[in-house]
Each structure stands twice: as C-alpha cells, then as structure tokens.
Structure 1
Amino acid sequence: MKKILLIALLFSAFIANSQSFTGKGDQKFFIGANLQNNASGLNIGYDYGLGENFSIGMNSTYALNVYNGVDKAFIERFDLKARFNANLGNVVNISENLDFYPGLSLSLKNFGGHFGMRYFFTSGFGIYSEFNTPLAKYDTDRLTPAEKIHNQFTVNIGAIFNL
C-alpha cells in the first residue's frame, strides 16, 4: 500500500498544473528582497491580469539597510510604483510554469522599465527575479546618494503566490 501511495504521489507531482500566468483575472502577490547600490530592502507587490498577455499592478519598496552615510529619512527609503506588464510566457512557450514579463512603471521617484521572470513550482507558489532601471528621473540634477536610492538599477528576488 505504501508503494502505491508513493507512486500516486510522484505521478500527481508530474502532472500538476502550475501555470505562471492565466490571463484575465489572474492575481499575483509577491514579496522579496530589493538589492541596489548603497541600500537593500523589502519589495512587495500585486499584479492583476487584464488580458491574455498583460497585467497591471502596484509595487512598493522600502530600503531597510542604507550604507555609506546615506540619509535615513523615510521619504528616501520608500518608493511606490504603478506597473504595466506584458506577460510573454505563453508566447515564448518554454514551459507553462515560466513567465517572462517586460514592463513599464511610474513611481514616486521616476518613470522606469523592468524585466522579470517567474517560475511556479506548484499552482500557488513560485519564485521571481526582476531587473529595474529608471528611464526618466524626476530630478535631473546630480543626485545625492540618498536620492539615488530607488533611482538607479535595482534587482528584486523573492517568492510569488497565486491568489
């Protein structure tokens, strides 16, 4: 009986459906680490599918650790973004567990672009990585180290959940 149960469990793991993006109505919650020059912090966000290959969402980042004498005021540490993603996982068609998504964001600090990847191990849990860069900064003067937080190339990595 134990062998039959083990075989059934292994077989169900191979046929489990864990699609990364299902289109309209798809909801994702993600939480992870934000890594950038002179700071590291927490990244948290939500995406909602509006169509077969695009989604919108919100993303917030807070720098917990700041380095090299950077001002520790809340306004420099916090950023909030509205996002638009083009979910291309089904276009690339490598695996239905994998999603690639380039996108644009409008934040409190800048107008930027991002490129991310999501991989789902189960129907509800996966990992993500995302690369962000500003395309247009609100302050075009020479930025202080505190103003560069969230206003430079950043990397986000963490866990993602289907809702």
Structure 2
Amino acid sequence: MNGPLSFKAQALDNTSPDHYQISDELLPADDQTRRRQVTNQISEVAREGEVLLQANGAELIFHRSRFLVQVYSEQLDQAGRRAPILCCGEFNSNDEPRAECENLIQAIRGFATKIGRTVEPEHIQAISGRLAKLKKKNRTGPLTVGVGIGVLLIALLLVALNL
C-alpha cells in the first residue's frame, strides 16, 4: 500500500462521535484536523472515482490507484439500520497483489474489532480463495494490478451481499 489506510464508521448509538482511524491509530474525538483529512480523502475518491460495484449499499470505487470500500458490519445502529464501515487507501503497483489484499483484509478486520464490530467470516474466506488467482499477475503493471484487486474486492462484496 502507498501510505496509510484510513477508516470511518458511524457510532452505533447515533449520538457519540464517529470512529476514525489512520493506519493503526484510532483518532480521538478532538482530533478534528485528521478526522477532516479522512473525510476529505473518502469524499474525493467517492466524487472522482469510478463505481465498480454498487449493490445493496455496498460500494467499491476506484480513482487511479486509490480506492474506497464500503461494507457493513453485522451490528445495527440504535435505529436498527445497517452500519457501514468505510476504508480508503492507495494500492502500490510495485507490491505483490496477494500481499496487498491480505493486508487490506487484515486491516478491515482489525478496525472492526477495535470498534466492537464483526465482519462476516465468509467474506474473508471468499476473498482469500480468490487471491491465488493473482499469483501470476504481480508486476504486470498498475492497471492490471488495480483491475485484479478491484475484481477481488467486487467478489468480496458480492459474497457479502449473498448475490
């Protein structure tokens, strides 16, 4: 990955500050500068990127080598609605795609755990099973790597939505 992954998730009680994280650091509620930075990164990719998947609220958006993934946790908010988790980052075309996807999966799981949420285990199993298909595609160029990783993320989201 180029740079840190950034995360955002709404508070389930709908009154507490939302959860923000950069790399492995949960941001305190009073760190408005870095919280705004995460929000701006998410907004930029959402605004300028190409939607590769939009189904049942889950989204996968790519803009050059940057991505935005929105998935839902098993937990519902206080109003009974599905609670999204957003992850924004940038893929490095020089890294091995399997390693990048595995790092992304672990980071999403880690963030969810830190904020008391869970990610469907079958989502992780589905993406891990597909990672083997990228073995021979590493170092074939940023577009191939980006598309390959995009396909993996789409597969993850489709399984998440049971489509």
TM-score if structure 1 supplies the norm length? 0.31
Structure with the largest fraction of strand: 1
Larger Rg: 1
Structure with the largest fraction of helix: 2
TM-score if structure 2 supplies the norm length? 0.31
